[in-house]
Chains A and B, each alone.
Chain A
């Protein structure tokens, strides 16, 4: 070091952020308990909503009886799919071009699916209310293996898609099939495998993962009847998407909807999508004219909000004896759950990561075909596949290199 070498302090001052430690402005608040998370939002006259959820993974809902629940002190309303149908809100769009039930419409497709929404004066009364809602179910056969989901006689999960031969991401070829996607040059790949000195084939399973932010998904919806404006405070990673979805289904112009993402207690992709709680709280606020808060508990968060991955990957490598990779075939069967709600469908993380990482040493065009297809089953709201946490993705590539 000589006199011309700047000290760490000088470098920090000159760089103003790049390559040096910065103190975050929000930490002074967070370390003193002055955060402003959704559950900290309290409005005058605010009501609380809670869900009756399905104990079954696949069942027909034969009847819902709210009579006793409405007698519980503090319970004001019980909303079901039948209620929502009167305002055309029983179903909502997903980020992947699919649709999903807001509340169980005739059947449930995964355990802990939302069946009815109880609105009460406080969260304890709402909980008392959900325990008094009587739901009659007729259990149906479940599909828990994505390979068996594609069997000819596999139970039909999405009856609403009957007769539809294509979805937002391509053609469907089976009643539990969502899409298939292929990229690469098959002939070149086949040639690379024919000429290969060594070939390796391995079945790799990348298990289902849950983002599990420490703060669960929650919202406060407040509808101003006089202005006709809806304000939503929510644990949103993508507030603009939420505004669009709410505008689409509530038939309100976007400028009449205010979406506020205050401090968010972690997200990791879990808080990108739109969940039934947001819609039910908004409807409850519009109907009652009062603000309505919905706060998930941990079990609800883990069982009913978006998960990621759940890929079953068959990989084949063609290589020279010296270890130079000359070709790669990857076939991915991705479990997308009951409703396809991925912000980035499995074709992106499963398809592209295998192409861009594993194929780098060899000719890109010889890498193929990569197929991603998704078998629908009883899982909640699909493979969210929206991790922004890179170590998770590199974790995916490790087994195939090792």
Chain B
């Protein structure tokens, strides 16, 4: 078996130009984790079911376990490492997940936050039902979705300058 020819790829990840040599079959998530060493993006299923590997690619949420790295040639990508505010403080969503206990083991969290960030850009004032539908491609096995929904509501209110009021427990 001959060794596979590698392809040169370039893309912008979290604002920085990056490049690397990949096999045509290399998955984007492996390029992100193994080549770029950005290990915040997780692999849960490698079949697009769980959403742990969700990143933002040219303004869309994609599951990077079923995108080839060569397909991302020339694109702009945001991973969890690029979500915090420019001054290093937590973004509204990161803060929301922390304040509302929207995570337990933390494995789904990067994908959840990336998905929620895109959702809030598309729909800045989502209803609870819209949030639930919006994150339906992301699975959490520990926390349940109650607090994740609250975390996203918290972030939406903060971004919109509205005081967040927790629903009665």
A-facing mask of B99-114, CB < 8 A → 1, else 0?
1010111111110010
A contacts with B, residue count (CB < 8 A): 36
B18 interfacial contact with A, CB 8 Å: no
Asked if A40 meets B39 with Cβ closer than 8 Å, knowing A27-B97, A31-B113, the reply is yes
Residue among A21, A28, A214, A265 with the most chain B CB within 10 A? A214
Say how far A277's CB is from chain B's closest CB, in angstroms.
16
Say how far B94's CB is from chain A's closest CB, in angstroms.
4
A37 interfacial contact with B, CB 8 Å: yes
The interface residues of chain B lying within 8 Å CB-to-CB of A264 are 105
A147 interfacial contact with B, CB 8 Å: no
The interface residues of chain A, by DSSP majority, are classed as: loop
A-facing mask of B112-153, CB < 8 A → 1, else 0?
010000000000000000000000000111100000000000
CA distance A61 to B12 in the complex (A): 50
Cβ-defined contact, B107 with A31, below 8 A: no
Say how far B109's CB is from chain A's closest CB, in angstroms.
5
CB contact list, B41-91 vs A, under 8 A:
41-47, 49-50, 52, 79-81, 83-84, 90
The interface residues of chain B, by DSSP majority, are classed as: loop
CA distance A23 to B107 in the complex (A): 18
**Count of A-B contacts judged by CB separation below 8 Å:** 111
A402 interfacial contact with B, CB 8 Å: no
Say how far B111's CB is from chain A's closest CB, in angstroms.
9
The interface residues of chain A lying within 8 Å CB-to-CB of B84 are 32
The interface residues of chain B lying within 8 Å CB-to-CB of A132 are 1
Asked if A268 meets B141 with Cβ closer than 8 Å, knowing A31-B113, A32-B83, the reply is yes
B contacts with A, residue count (CB < 8 A): 47
A352 interfacial contact with B, CB 8 Å: no
Cβ-defined contact, B40 with A27, below 8 A: no
A26 interfacial contact with B, CB 8 Å: yes
Cβ-defined contact, B110 with A33, below 8 A: yes
B8 interfacial contact with A, CB 8 Å: no
Cβ-defined contact, A298 with B107, below 8 A: no
The interface residues of chain B lying within 8 Å CB-to-CB of A213 are 105, 107, 141
The interface residues of chain A lying within 8 Å CB-to-CB of B106 are 26-27, 29-31, 35, 263, 265
Asked if A214 meets B109 with Cβ closer than 8 Å, knowing A28-B90, A33-B79, the reply is no
Asked if A265 meets B107 with Cβ closer than 8 Å, knowing A33-B40, A73-B3, A124-B25, the reply is yes
B19 interfacial contact with A, CB 8 Å: no
A297 interfacial contact with B, CB 8 Å: yes
CA distance A40 to B97 in the complex (A): 22
Asked if A71 meets B105 with Cβ closer than 8 Å, knowing A214-B139, A214-B140, A298-B45, the reply is no
Can you give 20 A-B contacts (C-beta < 8 A)?
A26-B106, A27-B103, A28-B90, A30-B109, A31-B98, A32-B40, A32-B80, A33-B38, A33-B83, A35-B107, A37-B39, A37-B42, A213-B141, A215-B105, A265-B105, A265-B106, A265-B107, A266-B105, A266-B141, A268-B141
Given contact pairs A34-B40, A215-B42, A298-B49, a sample of 18 additional A-B residue pairs in the complex whose CB atoms are under 8 Å apart: A23-B99, A29-B106, A30-B103, A31-B97, A31-B109, A32-B81, A33-B38, A33-B79, A40-B33, A42-B37, A73-B2, A214-B44, A214-B107, A214-B108, A265-B106, A265-B107, A297-B45, A298-B47
